[in-house]
Amino acid sequence: MEEGNKEENFYPQFYKKLYQWYEKHLWAVRTVNVLYHLLPALAVLCYVDLLGLVYINGGRIMLLKVILVPFITFAGVSVFRKCVNAKRPYTIYGTTPIVAKDKTGESMPSRHTASFTVIAMTWLYVNPAAGVIMLVLAFLMGVVSVLGGVHFVKDVLAGYSAGVLMGIIGLFLI
């Protein structure tokens, strides 16, 4: 069986079973929706906190990195998504996402996941313990995006990878 066929068969079955399960567990639908909206807000708050900490305690180079690396990552992922314009699971399979979304394309990579991950990498650069916690939360953001039916696993993995890669290059290697 070809790789494309495996994917074509997996996702419709996965989402069908997932939605059937959600019909019986409305608390899970609410939880996914709350997390989908809460986690990005948490990432922004943590990032603003980090900017304040670095402004007060860090040098100019550190502050510049903490500002530029997430910005460049966000901009790069946004441009890449527009160019690729990959369809979302609910567009391809005609399902209704658990998380209300009206966009039909720009699914790859997940910008929420990429942004959260690069913010986590900035925390890792400044405070490793906090960075590890943030990386776990960024991973959770990706899981929630898949469970919410708005992204494929590959979209989330690409977003997470972009955030980690840009963080490593921009914060630790340059």
Report how far residue 95's alpha carbon sits from residue 56's, in angstroms, rounded to the nearest whole number. 48
- Of 91, 115, 111, 112, nearest to 102 by C-alpha is 91
Q: Can you give the pLDDT at residue 6?
A: 64
Report how far residue 149's alpha carbon sits from residue 96's, in angstroms, rounded to the nearest whole number. 8
Q: Can you give the pLDDT at residue 94?
A: 84
3-state DSSP assignment of residue 105: coil
For the entire predicted model, the pTM comes to: 0.93
- Of 152, 163, 73, nearest to 108 by C-alpha is 152
| Average pLDDT over the chain, rounded to an integer | 93
Q: Can you give the pLDDT at residue 13?
A: 86
Report how far residue 25's alpha carbon sits from residue 27's, in angstroms, rounded to the nearest whole number. 5
Residue 95 has pLDDT above 90, yes or no: no
DSSP 8-state symbol, 169 = I
